[in-house]
Structure 1
Amino acid sequence: MLKTSKIYVAGHRGMVGSAIVRQLKAQGYENIVVRRSSELDLRNQAAVAAFFEEEKPDYVVLAAAKVGGIVANNTYRAEFIHDNLAIELNVIHQSHLNGVKKLLFLGSSCIYPKFAPQPMEETHLLTGSLEPTNEPYAIAKIAGIKLCEAYRDQYGSNFISAMPTNLYGPNDNYDLKKSHVLPALIRKFHEAKINGTPSVEIWGDGSPMREFLHVDDLAEACVFLLDNYDGKDFVNVGTGVDVTIKELAETVKEVVGFEGELTFDTSKPNGTPRKLMKVDRLKDLGYEAKIGLRQGIEMVYQDFLDNMDKYIAGERVVAS
């Protein structure tokens, strides 16, 4: 990409999109186009068509999505498949119609089968049944991958896909009903510390293993892929290292400074037993994640403290 290239980042107020905007600006890209959802509803076909016709971006990063944790995924199943399919269909199709030079579609590790071999390789896609609690979201993300492949096959479009592992970082969602596990733990432990609560409850038995990637590492990887990768196959983006939920909770507890006990509610679902990415393809291209998990949790807890009022209120904190 040229430093003057017009780059549209869809979803710039979310955790991923805002990190990508920060990374692009840090690398000297200034011609960045963004729209709030109140200005452009990506589910609206006519509105997306009008936007692309007006702006004619050179590059597109599709980081916009309806996202959430186990509760949100399992509760709002229709919205998770409908909204994500609509966003992908509109943005990818208009990128084709308007001659976008390159599009990067961002998916999720939940595209893989529930009992996929570990670590999960890109070739494991569609080799087994999905995790039931987030199946609608996963199917939408698989459809996004296949859309990119189909436009490449039929029209020669340079549309690439990256599948991040579990993410955390600035601008995360701390709503306990909709958040992912790491931000939920940070908020739970912080509030327990402030309120003098004797224990914090963790969903499940603590045995599931998860991999966590700081969103700044993902953003750096995305810009790297835009500059260096033009292949049809999607690319896993992760650290290649995982921990149990119990180990994660103990680390968050230490970082926050909570001195009470952990309790595990085994009546709640564990989710997929293990989700570890094999990231050899990305490493072979020349990129590796840099931020270790404890360092990343320390960074994000400080960010939570700095922006707690806005996070609790559900507002987005987007760096300019």
Structure 2
Amino acid sequence: MSVRVLVTGGTGLVGQGIKYVIETEPENSTFGKQSGEEWFFIGSKEADLKSQEQTMKLFEKYKPTHVIHLAALVGGLFANMARKLDFLRDNLLINDNVLHAAHEFKCKKVISCLSTCVYPDKVEYPLDETKIHQGLPHESNFGYAHAKRLVDVQNHAYKDQYGDNFTSAIPTNVFGPHDNFDLESAHVLPALMHRCYLAQKNGTPFVVWGTGKPLRQFIYSRDLAKLFVWQLRNYESVEPLILSVGEDEEVSIKQAADALVSAMGFKGDYRFDETKADGQFRKPASNKKLLGLLKGTGFQFTPFEKALDETVQWFRQNYETARTGKKQ
């Protein structure tokens, strides 16, 4: 029987990472395309997943046997703070429609993408797969976080009631080619990259919002893509799985900005605006469970500086067509 993999959000950061891996890894290798597989990368232009009717038509068209569900309304700290209801409601609709369609079309496997920001604000670190529901999420993104938490609830409900093989992945901060670099809605690293690019282009200061002290775990989108492909084929539990570099590889926002200045060769005025909000100070996640499962696969994480260099190179080469919002 053929395997037909539908990737929702397939034109975005992680979706394009998966497409890159499927197209460049050796066929029938651990992370490459397997014989008999067909992959379909679907963006929002093809269907509005907030609509149950359009979602069902999409599934009818592609008849997937497997789904990697990446589609979501996403944004950085300030977008989440300003549009809490949008992030809650849109994601509730998208997730419910995709999981319902996958159930109706008897899909053999669904992996949905969560985020470490779903975790409680007050929780014992490091984060692990058992702590998602142990308290309220951070106030700054409670709309998005609650919507994503419910995916885990739905996965368990579909499994308990119908035996559906639905699970989820929890990446840490993802970055790489095809990211959203729009200054109004981007996550921290692509936003910094775009700010630095414009400062370099316009001869203006490169100003980083906040103190630079918060710590984050960054994972390269092409590394994450390999992990999604591996999880689709090898991970059979309903319980979510953290996909991340180790907690010992946390990087401060200042360290990330310093590395970015170096990667871009920025020589101008570079400083921090400490009047702006920092968000959560840190939210380290343990990848202990993942590493135990990956033994023997040969998987290795790309060093942060190398991944950053590759992303900067891609951004420079694709600036005119990248998601940057209004050109400046």
TM-score by length of 1: 0.93
Cα offset, 1:313, TM superposition: 5.1
Moved more, 98-107 or 200-209: 200-209
- C-alpha distance in 1 between matches for 2:245 and 2:42: 31
Find 2:145's aligned residue among 130, 138, 141.
138
Residue aligning to 1:37 = 44
User: Is 1:22 the equivalent of 2:28?
Assistant: no
What secondary structure, in the 3-state scheme, does the structure 1 residue paired with 2:321 have? helix
What secondary structure, in the 3-state scheme, does the structure 1 residue paired with 2:156 have? helix
- C-alpha distance in 1 between matches for 2:91 and 2:323: 25
Matches within 5 A, 1:56-95: 56-95=63-102
Q: For residues 146-165 of structure 1, what are the alpha-carbon distances to aligned partners after superposition, in whole Å with 9 as ceiling and x for unaligned?
A: 11111111111111110000
User: Contact 1:165/1:211 (CA < 8 Å) preserved in 2?
Assistant: yes
- C-alpha distance in 1 between matches for 2:270 and 2:151: 39
- What amino acid is the match of 1:309? E
User: Contact 1:63/1:106 (CA < 8 Å) preserved in 2?
Assistant: yes
- C-alpha distance in 2 between matches for 1:128 and 1:118: 13
Cα offset, 1:314, TM superposition: 4.4
- What amino acid is the match of 2:3? S
Residue aligning to 2:7 = 9
Residue aligning to 1:270 = 278
Q: For residues 150-201 of structure 1, what are the alpha-carbon distances to aligned partners after superposition, in whole Å with 9 as ceiling and x for unaligned?
A: 111111111111000000001011111111111111111122222222x321
Residue aligning to 1:222 = 228
Cα offset, 1:122, TM superposition: 1.3
- C-alpha distance in 2 between matches for 1:256 and 1:266: 23
CA pair 42-258 structure 1, distance change in 2 beyond 3 A: same
- C-alpha distance in 1 between matches for 2:269 and 2:217: 24
User: Contact 1:112/1:130 (CA < 8 Å) preserved in 2?
Assistant: yes
Residue aligning to 2:156 = 149
Size of the aligned set, in residue pairs, is 312
User: Contact 2:180/2:324 (CA < 8 Å) preserved in 1?
Assistant: no
Q: For residues 47-94 of structure 1, what are the alpha-carbon distances to aligned partners after superposition, in whole Å with 9 as ceiling and x for unaligned?
A: 212322343211011011111101111112111111111111001011
Residue aligning to 1:196 = 203
Q: Which runs of 4+ in 1 moved over 3 A?
A: 312-315
What secondary structure, in the 3-state scheme, does the structure 1 residue paired with 2:10 have? coil
- What amino acid is the match of 1:275? K
The percent identity for this pair of structures is 35
Residue aligning to 2:289 = 281
Matches within 5 A, 1:291-302: 291-302=302-313
- What amino acid is the match of 2:305? R
Matches within 5 A, 1:155-166: 155-166=162-173
- What amino acid is the match of 2:178? N
- What amino acid is the match of 2:266? F
What secondary structure, in the 3-state scheme, does the structure 2 residue paired with 1:122 have? coil
Cα offset, 1:13, TM superposition: 0.8
Q: Point out where structure 1 has 5 or more consecutive residues left out of the alignment.
A: 316-320
Moved more, 73-82 or 161-170: 73-82
User: Contact 1:238/1:289 (CA < 8 Å) preserved in 2?
Assistant: no
User: Contact 1:118/1:274 (CA < 8 Å) preserved in 2?
Assistant: no
What secondary structure, in the 3-state scheme, does the structure 1 residue paired with 2:311 have? helix
Q: Point out where structure 2 has 5 or more consecutive residues left out of the alignment.
A: 25-31
Root-mean-square deviation over aligned CA pairs: 1.7
Find 1:251's aligned residue among 246, 253, 259.
259
Moved more, 213-222 or 144-153: 144-153
Residue aligning to 1:184 = 191
TM-score by length of 2: 0.90
